[in-house]
Structure 1
Amino acid sequence: MKVLIVSWEYPPVVVGGLGRHVHQLTTELARAGHDVVVLTRRPTGTDGVSHPTTDSRTDGVRVIAAAEDPPEFEFARDMMAWTLAMGHSLIRAGMSAFGGRRDPAGEPPWEPDVVHAHDWLVAHPAIALAEFFDVPLVSTIHATEAGRHSGWVSGPTNRQVHSVEWWLAHESDSLITCSASMRDEVGRLFGPDIPDVSVIHNGIDIRTWPFAPRPAAAGPPELLFAGRLEYEKGVQDLLAAMPRIRRTHPGTTLTVAGTGTQLDWLGDEARRHRVAKSVRFLGAVDHDGLVDLMHRCAAIVLPSRYEPFGIVALEAAATGIPLIVSTAGGLGEAVSDPTTGLSFAPGDVAGIAAAVRAGLGDPAAAALRARRARERLTVEFSWAEVAERTAGVYLAAKRRVRHPVGRPHIPQRPLPERDRPQSTVTTDTDS
């Protein structure tokens, strides 16, 4: 099939897990014989002079990366305007590349059999291009704005994002989510008049995440968190659990790898719980550095309050580090307690402490669970399997008859403040 994939992230422009997902999926689709074109963007804050539009081929995939237009929009400050401007540049780049003109050799223009959108930020260009080519639109919903805010969208930007997600879901001819919990969430938020939703888990290339046996304990245990520093990732709950963990396992430290909007607030939380000296915030860590941390640390703790899937759990499992995770969303499907890891309820500080204590208290059992977790990856989470199932969705998708739709009703109430920092809009799901 000829597949046009539209994504606001694609290497080297990667914000979170979405970019890695799209890259692995596209290269695997190309390896399977499909003709894949990715329509994406150049880095934020550049322009057509410093970073012009490129049209290249990498790993068997044609990648068209649109230059950013000159108007001065900043993502953090003008998110919706920036997103609309990006969509406009993607449409123009796509039309210029394969909008009906023959190439110099006289070959007919490239036209897709299907358009595949990844998340709400590319709703406008994906819908426009699917309509122009009159082909099915498949959309992967990686996360939802309401899900990140406990089912409610109270701020104006949150409501705008939700309305675009709703529109994309209704304009699509088929939908994909990365977990059964996300499928249910999409149905609750955007149903009932949405197309069929297929559940296709994220995959992992275990060759890039080498396994290493657990080293013998050589001092107090070191815990690891890896991911974005956003409220829904639950790092604040892990910080709150650290005093209890350190009472039974003195000297335990926590290493936090990642960046995000809540870094300063989390630093304040560490001081409030009097564990600041035992917590290290490393900031962004490259791939090799993250692998080293996973090989060194006694366990990785992923305390998400909301998690569509949690690809970092797969990456961690591949390296052999014991998994201690919340049951939020896809994490509850990726880790089976007590077979492949230990788990606890989202937001349960006492549960986090109990699970970590159990994991640290029996290193042999933790190592056995880690080996089982890695063995499971080769069976259920290969990218070849993900690509094959995604191609099946493409083949089954049929372009539906379009009817005008009204604006969605968006439930609204103030979000509970409690210990939540100032509410923010986030865009990535999975990392």
Structure 2
Amino acid sequence: MTEATAPGTASFTVYHCDSWVARLSADEDARIADAVRALMPVAGTPSRTVGGADLVTVPVPMPRALPFAEQARRAAASLKVALGGRPIAAPVVHAHVGLLGGLPALRNMRSDSRLFVTEHATFLDRMLAEPDGRAGYAEVLAACEAFFVVGDPLRAQLAEAFPEHADKLRSIANPIDFATPRAEPVKSLHRWLFVGGLIERKGVGWLLEAFAVCRRQEPALTLTLVGEGELRGRLGERAEELGVADAVTFAGALSPVEALGLMREHDVLVHPSRYETFGVVVVEAAAAGMPVIVTRCGGPEQTLAGIESDAGQLIEVEEDSTAIVAGYEQLRDRFPGGMDLDRARRVLADRFGYQAVARQHHDAWFSSPSADPS
């Protein structure tokens, strides 16, 4: 987001509240908080980051399993320390994630600043289920000038929860980098790739089952899983049981640059998630020139609207491997003539490329004659 939107502004500073999560006693928590307050004025020196922006990393000591509202309050307090008690020196403040980013921004901005917020969290329902979380969220919504959501599912959820603020909700997608083309076009669908958390919601268990079924028909198939999560051990054991361990690579957690590099080396992204607010990885795969097999899980059917067949294969969310197997077979049977990956890439760049998303943000941020572009 910073790389897309920072160019074209006079100044752009990112305050990244970085949660340092650990099991802490009350005494340890207090002593660490004292240390952060003492060290932050020295440690909080800005560094230059993407788009010519400045970056200030703000450590937030965080005992495990705190309610969302308390996490937000701690981030607000740590940000205040990093700012030396002074308000954020900008007429435009943009926060990411309504409560965890919005509340710290609201508590540390000038009274005359304009607040904008982007929500893309898949855990929004859990935040709103907490009374304090819901109250904090309502406070942010009341104060902001506009509230951006990355997809219709989130917009509908927030409009239902806060109908009095529905007029502030606007759809602006996550920006995706389309600048780096693939060296060679995809020639087969043998090298499967998954990028995401190894958790139940992502459907990785059913993906492994589907891969084993398809590999019995096509022994050349391989599967690379990028990410970590609670299912890592179980997936490894199941790969052994299915007899496909030699064809499955657990790449672990990789940087975005490394993950995008793998997209340009693999043939098809398989993304059987149970719920997505947007589905960044699906659009990133299309930007990398690879077809996708993705569930209709909320965000992807919106992001791929009108180019579903060109980009790959949409499948239904099912609690088994059937839809994934069928989706792969359908995609394989019409590859490559039954799709147009170049067209999909062009359409998606017009929707979600850096320039398109930056233009929408700048139009909102600087629409007022009194708002200086900084």
Aligned residue in 1 for 2:15: 39
The reply on whether 1:382 has 2:353 as its aligned counterpart is: yes
1:353 and 2:345 equivalent? no
Structure 2 counterpart of 1:10 = none
The alpha-carbon deviation at position 199 of structure 1 amounts to 0.7
The equivalent residue for 1:342 is 313
Partner of 1:296: 265
Distance in 2 of aligned mates of 1:140 and 1:314? 18
- 1:312-331 equivalences in 2 (<5 Å): 312-331=281-300
- State how far apart, in whole Å, the 1-side matches of 2:115 and 2:15 are: 14
The Cα shift of 1:114 comes to 2.6
Q: Distance in 2 between matches of 1:324 and 1:83?
A: 36
Selected match of 1:87 from 76, 81, 99: 76
Q: Which moved more, 1:243-252 or 1:255-264?
A: 243-252
Per the alignment, residue 176 of structure 1 pairs with 148
Between stretches 38-47 and 167-176, larger displacement belongs to 38-47
CA distance in 1, matches of 2:207, 2:138: 33
1:309 CA drift (Å): 1.1
Pairs within 5 Å for 1:34-73? 34-41=10-17, 44=20, 48=36, 49=39, 52-58=43-49, 59-68=51-60, 73=62
Instruction: Tell me the percent identity.
Output: 26
Counterpart of 2:193?
224
Aligned equivalent of 1:139: 117
- Report the Cα offset of residue 67 of structure 1: 4.5
| TM-score, normalised via structure 2 length | 0.79
CA distance 1:350–1:168, shift in 2 (3 Å): farther
> Please, which runs of 5 or more residues in structure 1 have no aligned partner?
1-20, 100-109, 398-431
Instruction: State the partner residue of 1:124.
Output: 103
Higher helix share: 2
Q: Structure 1 residues 135, 194: CA separation in 2 closer, same or farther (over 3 Å shift)? A: farther
Larger CA deviation: 83-92 vs 164-173: 164-173
AA paired with 1:66? Answer: V
Match for residue 206 of structure 1 among 173, 178, 183: 178
Change (3 A) 1:354 1:163: farther
Paired with 1:65 and 1:57, the residues of 2 have a C-alpha distance of 11
Tell me how far apart the structure 2 counterparts of residues 379 and 277 of structure 1 sit (CA, whole Å): 40
Unmatched 5+ residue regions in structure 2?
22-31, 369-374
Q: What's the CA shift string for 1:243-301, capped at 9, x where partnerless?
A: 43234434523210112344234445545666545432110234554344323322111
Do 2:191 and 2:267's aligned partners in 1 also have CA atoms closer than 8 Å? yes
How does 1:226-265 map onto structure 2 within 5 Å?
Answer: 226-265=195-234
Contact between 1:146 and 1:162, CA under 8 Å: does it hold in 2? no
Q: Is the 8 A contact 1:300 1:324 kept in 2?
A: yes
Superposed CA offset, 1:212-256 (max 9, x none): 333545xx9221001222332222231232243234434523210
Q: CA deviation at 1:126?
A: 1.4
Q: State how far apart, in whole Å, the 2-side matches of 1:89 and 1:121 are.
A: 12
Are the equivalent residues in 1 in contact too, given 2:350–2:356 (CA < 8 A)?
Answer: no
Task: Return the alpha-carbon distance in structure 1 between the equivalents of residues 217 and 131 of structure 2.
Answer: 45
Secondary structure at the residue paired with 1:240? helix
Q: Which runs of 4+ in 1 moved over 6 A?
A: none
- Secondary structure of residue in 2 paired with 1:39: strand
- State whether residues 179 and 333 of structure 1, in contact with CA within 8 Å, keep that contact through their aligned partners in structure 2: yes
Change (3 A) 1:240 1:171: farther
TM-score between the two structures when normalised by the length of structure 1: 0.70
How far off is 1:338 after superposition? 1.0
Deviations 1:17-75 (A, max 9, x none): xxxx3x22442xxx22343232223573796559811234444323333344xxx634x
Shift of 1:77: 4.5
Task: Give the superposition deviation at 1:396.
Answer: 5.5
Partner of 2:224: helix, strand, or coil? strand
| Counterpart amino acid of residue 394 in structure 1 | W
Q: CA shift at 1:82, angstroms?
A: 5.0
CA contact (8 A) 1:144 1:162 kept: no
| Paired amino acid for 2:12 | V
Partner of 2:269, secondary structure, is strand
Which one-letter code corresponds to 2:46 in the other structure? D
User: What is the root-mean-square deviation in Å for CA atoms of aligned residues?
Assistant: 3.3
CA distance in 1, matches of 2:308, 2:59: 46
Deviation, structure 1 residue 340: 2.0
For residues 339 and 281 of structure 1, the distance between their equivalents in structure 2, rounded to whole angstroms, comes to 29
